C-alpha cells in the first residue's frame, strides 16, 4: 500500500506537466482579451480630422460599424488600408480614430491612399485610445447600432481575418433593436 503512495508525487507531476504544458503553446501573446466587449463605447468629446466639428460617442450609433484606430506613423496601418478601402466599397461603415497623429499628415494620407472612413476622430494625445485600452495600432472595434462594443481585433484587417469576424458583423446588422430604453433615447435626442 505504502509503495503506491510513493508514486503520488510522480502522478501529480505528470498531471501538472500535461496541464501546464498544454497552455504554453496556446497563449497568443499579441492578442489580449478586451474587457470592453459588451460595454458601451466610452464617452469622448473630440474634433473631427476632416472638418471643424466636435464629435461625441453619440455619433457612433445607428448603423453597425467598424471603429478603426490608425496613424500615419504605423506601418501595419498602411498594410491594411487597401483592405479597408475594399470593405468601405462593399458598404461596410468604417469610422476612423486618428491615434496620436498629426491632423495635416492624416489628411495627406487619406488623400493619397483613399478614404474608407465615414469620418475620422482626431485623438492627438491618445486619450480616447487609453479609454479604449489601445496598446498598438491598428486596432479595430466592432460597434453595433446601439453603440455597444461587440468585438475587438488587434493587428491588421485582411481577407482572412475578416472571414473570422464577418459572422459577428453580420449578426450586429440584424441586432439593431427598436427603442428599448425610452428614457435614455429621449435624453440623447435632446442633446
Partner 1 sequence: MKFMLALCLSLLTLTSQAVVNGHLYPFDNELDKDRFNILAEDLRCPKCQNQNLADSYAPVAGDMRDKVYELMIEGQSDDEIVTYLVDRYGDFVRYNPAVQKNTFFLWFAPGVMVLIALIIIISITRGGKKSKPLSEEEKAKLAQLQAARREKQDS
User: Which residues in this chain contact partner 1 in the complex, by CB under 8 A?
Assistant: 1-2, 5-6, 8-9, 12, 29, 32-36, 100, 126, 129-136
DSSP for residue 39: S
Q: Which residues contact 184 (CB under 8 A, 6 or more apart)?
A: none
Q: Which is nearer to partner 1, 31 or 89 (CB)?
A: 31
User: Omega into 31 within 30° of 0, i.e. cis?
Assistant: no
Computed on alpha carbons and rounded to an integer, the radius of gyration of the chain in Å comes to 22
- Going by the DSSP 8-state scheme, the letter that residue 59 receives in this structure is G
For partner 1, which is the closer residue by CB, 28 or 182?
A: 28
Residue whose CB is less far from partner 1, 37 or 176: 37
The rounded distance, in Å, linking the Cα atoms of 184 and 177 is 14
Provide the minimum distance between the beta carbon of 182 and partner 1 in the complex, in angstroms, as a whole number.
28
> CA–CA separation, 84 vs 80, rounded Å?
6
Q: Which is nearer to partner 1, 9 or 22 (CB)?
A: 9
Nearer to partner 1, 1 or 179 (CB): 1
Extended beta strands in the chain, E state: 45-47, 54-56, 65-70, 94-99, 120-123, 139-143, 149-154
Look at strands 120-123 and 65-70 and give their pairing.
Answer: unpaired
Least spacing, CB of residue 122 vs partner 1, in Å: 16
Query: Taking the complex as a whole, how short is the minimal distance between the CB of residue 80 and partner 1, in angstroms?
Result: 19
Q: How far is the CB of 160 from partner 1 (least distance, A)?
A: 24
Least spacing, CB of residue 88 vs partner 1, in Å:
28
Amino acid at each position: 500500500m505504502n509503495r503506491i503512495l510513493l508514486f503520488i508525487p510522480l502522478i501529480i507531476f505528470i498531471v501538472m506537466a500535461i496541464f501546464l504544458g498544454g497552455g504554453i503553446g496556446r497563449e497568443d501573446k499579441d492578442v489580449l482579451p478586451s474587457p470592453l466587449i459588451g460595454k458601451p463605447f466610452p464617452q469622448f468629446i473630440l474634433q473631427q480630422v476632416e472638418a471643424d466639428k466636435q464629435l461625441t460617442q453619440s455619433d457612433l450609433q445607428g448603423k453597425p460599424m467598424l471603429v478603426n484606430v490608425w496613424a500615419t506613423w504605423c506601418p501595419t496601418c498602411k498594410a491594411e488600408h487597401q483592405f479597408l478601402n475594399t470593405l468601405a466599397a462593399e458598404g461596410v461603415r468604417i469610422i476612423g480614430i486618428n491615434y496620436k497623429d498629426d491632423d495635416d499628415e492624416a489628411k495627406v494620407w487619406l488623400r493619397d491612399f483613399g478614404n474608407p472612413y465615414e469620418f475620422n476622430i482626431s485623438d492627438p494625445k491618445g486619450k480616447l485610445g487609453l479609454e479604449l485600452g489601445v496598446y498598438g495600432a491598428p486596432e479595430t472595434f466592432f460597434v453595433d447600432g446601439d453603440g455597444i462594443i461587440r468585438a475587438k481585433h488587434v493587428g491588421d484587417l485582411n481577407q482572412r481575418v475578416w472571414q473570422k469576424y464577418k459572422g459577428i458583423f453580420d449578426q450586429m446588422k440584424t441586432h439593431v433593436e427598436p427603442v428599448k430604453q425610452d428614457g435614455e433615447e429621449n435624453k440623447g435626442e435632446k442633446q
